[in-house]
């Protein structure tokens, strides 16, 4: 029985007639899914990198005190102006800033407070406290976006809210320079 199976299998392997449609049908969907996942991952990486850059540039302005007084809207505008190609930044970005005690490090909440398109609008609860000179500050930016392929490939693995938007979170710490 085993020898008949081996003979039939060997004959099937050595047969060179026909075309490559079987290999194409088996390999092409896998290749296509890797290609689409790499596109999604590339855009997620680009958004995250640009958000990090925007946040770093805005924090530099705040830390050095070269701009106007550090208000929420001014800092949000700075982040969005420096985060080129981040679409609808001013509508989909939420900032948190709090002072931190360097001796008993109190950090930000573990879950970032992001905007949610599915929920009704919340009144603005400011978790945004501009610091004073020589004070350690923690700042977190949360940006919501819609994945290109939300139900397939990488988009299905992302953590999304009920409206189908995924989030990118960026965090930084800085010390206010004295005037």
**Span 39-61, pLDDT tens digits:** 989 999 999 999 999 999 998 88
Q: Is the pLDDT of residue 124 over 60?
A: no
pTM of the model: 0.75
Residue whose pair of structure tokens reads 């693995």 in the numeric block: 157
- 3-state SS, residue 46: helix
Residues 63, 96: Cα–Cα separation, whole Å: 16
The pLDDT value recorded for residue 42 is 92
Residues 100, 86: Cα–Cα separation, whole Å: 29
Residues 55, 4: Cα–Cα separation, whole Å: 68
Q: Is the pLDDT of residue 120 over 60?
A: no
């Amino acid at each position: 029985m085993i020898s008949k199976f081996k003979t039939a299998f060997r004959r099937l392997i050595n047969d060179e007639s026909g075309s490559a449609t079987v290999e194409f049908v088996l390999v092409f969907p896998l290749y296509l899914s890797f290609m689409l996942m790499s596109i999604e991952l590339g855009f997620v990486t680009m958004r995250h990198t640009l958000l990090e850059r925007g946040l770093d540039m805005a924090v530099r302005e705040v830390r050095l005190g070269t701009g106007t007084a550090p208000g929420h809207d001014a800092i949000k505008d700075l982040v969005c102006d420096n985060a080129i190609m981040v679409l609808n930044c001013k509508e989909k970005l939420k900032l948190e800033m709090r002072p931190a005690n360097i001796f008993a490090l109190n950090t930000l909440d573990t879950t970032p407070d992001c905007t949610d398109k599915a929920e009704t609008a919340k009144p603005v609860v400011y978790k945004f406290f501009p610091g004073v000179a020589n004070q350690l500050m923690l700042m977190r930016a949360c940006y919501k976006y819609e994945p290109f392929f939300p139900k397939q490939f990488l988009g299905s693995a992302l953590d999304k809210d009920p409206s189908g938007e995924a989030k990118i979170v960026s965090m930084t710490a800085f010390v206010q320079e004295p005037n």
